[in-house]
Structure 1
């Protein structure tokens, strides 16, 4: 038999069931309904539903068949007019469960039903009862293999599919690894994976992250409408119409096999906490990719959820948040604490919208994993069971879970990576770099006038010997730019050789000898500052003394002395190549002048004194 596609809707008095049976004979069909049981048969289609409310046969029931669409539309009166039937969009839970042929599971079903009925009578569900990790040692003694999966109902799966699951989960050999050891290995792997440079890069350069944070998924608008409807009508059931399932999602629910889960109190708590962990990872994926799926979507969800990647069993909501926050800052492309907060707020809104919104998200995760080659195994371990289990869950349980999640807090200090200290140190480094850049900018602004002053002092040093500061700046400048001074120096020497002596020294009758003495003293200092051999210094001192005596003579004596001194310095200044060589070796203008002709040096320095 084929289970047909179907939809259910309701109004105040009737329950409407639309059944799609293409190519069926309209004249050959049977319908049976009584209380909460509904049956439909039209060869080869068969449908049996367990309704969330009671219906009656009082003559008001109607049925019609659309030949073009191939659909039956059946209207059934409600036993209590105005009663609201909850969960009509939970198609898997409406399908009658398969009856087992064994007596043992049947007894377990009765016990499970009794336990569930007692649990449903509880007004509030405390999610924070157990704060200490559960000790797995007694269980490990009884069971040779450790359990995992939805409600810890699976074991031995990884021994049979180790090659396929090695790329899906991070833990090795989970069948032989207890829960506390899984947690220890997970924390060590996260600590080794955390990259401070990557975190600080996303912390300071967060343009892309701020962009994705502005994205609004479908549940944000649905949550706003829910709040508005609750303020107006004060009826919670009206919010069920805010979540609409596509035809693909409905078909996906019809393919699930309806079954019950026998979970004790501890296992149920772990299932709820695992649901939060999976929803947080899904919310992160939707936010960073702005609702678009890509080849990394499957990896993001299973990597950020420790429930899926490490088969983690949490004991409190705080542990779930800390685990998710650590993994966000270790593994994905965008590692920003703002994304952790955003996923946290989105998960709260999804839980407040009820099980229809949670189921829609789980169906989307199921589709993502189904289309990914290694990740489809996670559907068999977790997601398929979650999709079936959530349809039978009571809305007040999810409401209590959302309240507990909303009251929980998560700070950067809880993650164990010293994020606040890291950020403070990075801010200090950034401030120091800004100060250095500012100081560099000020120095660059002062460089042009400094260069011009140096250039001026260099020019004045070649023409005036009375300015000591000009001479000092000339020495500094000549030591830093030797090659640039050699050519200009040779030209100066050539000009001085051809010029009259009286024009070079610039002295005239009636000039005081004090200027000559100053020039003599400066020349001695300049010569002593160079590395000229001792014999050369003595020779230069004799020639300088001769120059001083000549400077005190009348102009006629100067002309005669000019010829004598010209002959003495003929050999030293006649070789420009040697002068250039000495200049290159010493790199000092004063040395070149001293080695060629000290009198010419004095002339060039005293030229402007007249």
Structure 2
């Protein structure tokens, strides 16, 4: 038999069942309903439901068949008009037989230590088959999976599951050892540089935080209608399942779970852990699925990756926060907060929203190899179990989650210290940059001022040098003129002496040394004839005046005047002739001035 696709809706007076049977004969079908039981048969389809409320057969029931769609639509009156039937979208739960809905075990041990009486004991079989003794491994003492009901799975499939979970040999690893290894792996994986890079360069993070998944709009509708309707808020008005999701629920095999109090606590906390990882995945990928979706969900959930069994909500939040900051691409504390808020919204929407998320996770894992193993260990059981959970318990879980708090200091990764140190480094860099900019500006200003001062100084120095050079040139020219004039006089005075002694004749150029007391200057000069004639005339007149005096006085006066005007060189004075040969000059101590003047005058004439 084939279980057909079906859908249940309700209004205050009727329960409507819509069944899709495209290959059935409309003329051959059977229908039965009474109380909470509903049965439908149309070959080859068979549907049996256990309804969440009672229905009656009072003549108001209706049934119709749409040949184009191949669907039966059946309206059944409610026994109590206005009664709200809870969980009509929990299709797997509706398929369960009535007798299997009880969570109580069919076989229960009354007293484990009680001994059977001899009357109830069976006779011992002496002919039983004997089996040789074989040393076997001790039974596994460390279960895992949904409600810690599984064990030995990874022992048989270690090679296939090595990429799914991080823990090695979980069957032989106790829960405390798993937690210790997980914390050590997270501490080794945490990268401060990656965290600080996402903390300061958070443009991409801000963009991701703007994304709004489907549960945000559903939560707004629920909040807006809260108080206006007396119906429960996990109705399909806020959460709608697609046909694909309905098909998923129909394929599940319904079963009951025998969970003790401790196991139920682990299941609820594991549900929060899985939803947190799923909310992170939806946020960072903006609702789109990719090849990393399966990795993100199972890596961020310690329940799936390390087979962790939590004991408190705070432990769940700390584990999720640490893993977000250690493993995925985007590692920002705001993403942890966003996933926390989204999980609260999903739980407030009720088990329909939780089931919709679990069905999506189931689909993601089913399409990923080898993550599909996690469906067998956790997700499938969660999808079946959540349909039977009472809404009050889920609301209590949501309230406890809302009261929980998580800060960066709880994660044990020294995030606040890292951020403070990074901010301090940034401030120092900004201060250094500012100081460097100021010093650079000051340097540029000082360079400009220096260049201006150098230009002005160079201008003034050039002007000074120019004036000095002009003065030097003028002084040099004046000195040259004076020296040339003195040289001329000296030459005119010494030439007759040389001629009188017969050493040099007919020479108009002479090399002289004129001393200014510190340095000697050698130069050559040409005697101008006009000045020489005038000077000779003056000397003739003076000589004529002296000649009128007595001979002795005239001679003495002439000699003294001549020595004053033109001192006679010392005998040891060295002079050069025109040929460049040095000679010592011997001069008569008492030359005749008259003869000297006359001979000079005659030579000039």
TM-score, reference length from structure 1: 0.70
Which residue of the partner structure matches residue 309 of structure 1? 305
Contact 1:190 1:330 in 2 (8 A): yes
Secondary structure of the residue aligned to 1:108 is coil
Offset at residue 215 of structure 1 (A)? 1.0
Structure number with the higher helix fraction is 1
Give yes or no for the alignment of 1:215 onto 2:211.
yes
Distance 1:237 1:562, change over 3 A: farther
Which residue of the partner structure matches residue 429 of structure 1? 425
The correspondence for 2:242, drawn from 224, 241, 246, is 246
Give yes or no for the alignment of 1:108 onto 2:105.
yes
Secondary structure of the residue aligned to 1:57 is coil
Contact 2:222 2:233 in 1 (8 A): no
**Comparing 141-150 and 270-279, the one that deviates more:** 141-150
Equivalents in 1 of 2:221, 2:26: separation in Å?
Answer: 42
Offset at residue 232 of structure 1 (A)? 2.1
Offset at residue 459 of structure 1 (A)? 6.2
Distance 1:560 1:51, change over 3 A: same
Which residue of the partner structure matches residue 95 of structure 1? 95
Distance 1:428 1:49, change over 3 A: same
Distance 1:553 1:196, change over 3 A: farther
Distance 1:359 1:96, change over 3 A: same
Distance 1:314 1:8, change over 3 A: same
1:384-423 superposed matches below 5 A: 384-423=380-419
Deviations for 1:332-363, whole angstroms, at most 9, x for unmatched residues?
11111111111101101100100000000001
Which residue of the partner structure matches residue 170 of structure 1? 166
Which residue of the partner structure matches residue 223 of structure 2? 227
Which residue of the partner structure matches residue 586 of structure 1? none
Equivalents in 2 of 1:160, 1:553: separation in Å?
Answer: 122
Distance 1:200 1:264, change over 3 A: same
The correspondence for 1:339, drawn from 335, 353, 357, is 335
Contact 1:243 1:357 in 2 (8 A): yes
**Comparing 54-63 and 323-332, the one that deviates more:** 54-63
For structure 2, list consecutive stretches of 5 or more residues without a partner in the other structure.
110-136, 477-514, 525-605
Give yes or no for the alignment of 1:376 onto 2:372.
yes
Deviations for 1:141-184, whole angstroms, at most 9, x for unmatched residues?
99424111100011010011111111111101101111000000
Give yes or no for the alignment of 1:445 onto 2:438.
no
Which residue of the partner structure matches residue 42 of structure 1? 42
Equivalents in 1 of 2:27, 2:39: separation in Å?
Answer: 17
Which residue of the partner structure matches residue 20 of structure 1? 20
Equivalents in 2 of 1:291, 1:435: separation in Å?
Answer: 43
Offset at residue 55 of structure 1 (A)? 1.2
Distance 1:560 1:241, change over 3 A: same
Number of aligned residue pairs: 459
Secondary structure of the residue aligned to 2:64 is strand
Task: Name segments (4+ residues, structure 1) moved above 3 Å.
Answer: 97-100, 109-112, 237-240, 452-467, 499-509, 557-563
Equivalents in 1 of 2:54, 2:351: separation in Å?
Answer: 22
Give yes or no for the alignment of 1:204 onto 2:200.
yes
Offset at residue 463 of structure 1 (A)? 8.1
Which residue of the partner structure matches residue 2 of structure 2? 2
Distance 1:11 1:502, change over 3 A: closer
RCO comparison, higher one (Cα < 8 Å, 6+): 1
Deviations for 1:377-416, whole angstroms, at most 9, x for unmatched residues?
1111100000000000111111000000000000110000
Offset at residue 213 of structure 1 (A)? 0.7
Larger-gyration structure (1/2): 2
Distance 1:501 1:81, change over 3 A: closer
Distance 1:28 1:434, change over 3 A: same
Equivalents in 2 of 1:228, 1:561: separation in Å?
Answer: 120
Secondary structure of the residue aligned to 1:170 is coil
Contact 1:229 1:239 in 2 (8 A): no
RMSD across aligned C-alpha pairs, in angstroms? 3.2
Which residue of the partner structure matches residue 490 of structure 2? none
Which residue of the partner structure matches residue 67 of structure 1? 67
Distance 1:162 1:553, change over 3 A: farther
Contact 1:230 1:236 in 2 (8 A): no
Secondary structure of the residue aligned to 1:33 is strand
Equivalents in 2 of 1:506, 1:152: separation in Å?
Answer: 114
Equivalents in 2 of 1:502, 1:35: separation in Å?
Answer: 131
Give yes or no for the alignment of 1:357 onto 2:318.
no
Offset at residue 106 of structure 1 (A)? 10
Distance 1:46 1:462, change over 3 A: same
Offset at residue 451 of structure 1 (A)? 2.7
TM-score, reference length from structure 2: 0.71
Equivalents in 2 of 1:442, 1:553: separation in Å?
Answer: 60
Contact 1:20 1:70 in 2 (8 A): yes
Secondary structure of the residue aligned to 2:428 is helix
Contact 1:501 1:562 in 2 (8 A): no
Equivalents in 2 of 1:428, 1:378: separation in Å?
Answer: 45
Offset at residue 14 of structure 1 (A)? 1.3
Secondary structure of the residue aligned to 1:241 is coil
Offset at residue 502 of structure 1 (A)? 6.1
Equivalents in 1 of 2:469, 2:66: separation in Å?
Answer: 128
Distance 1:50 1:502, change over 3 A: closer
**Comparing 439-448 and 342-351, the one that deviates more:** 439-448
Secondary structure of the residue aligned to 1:76 is strand
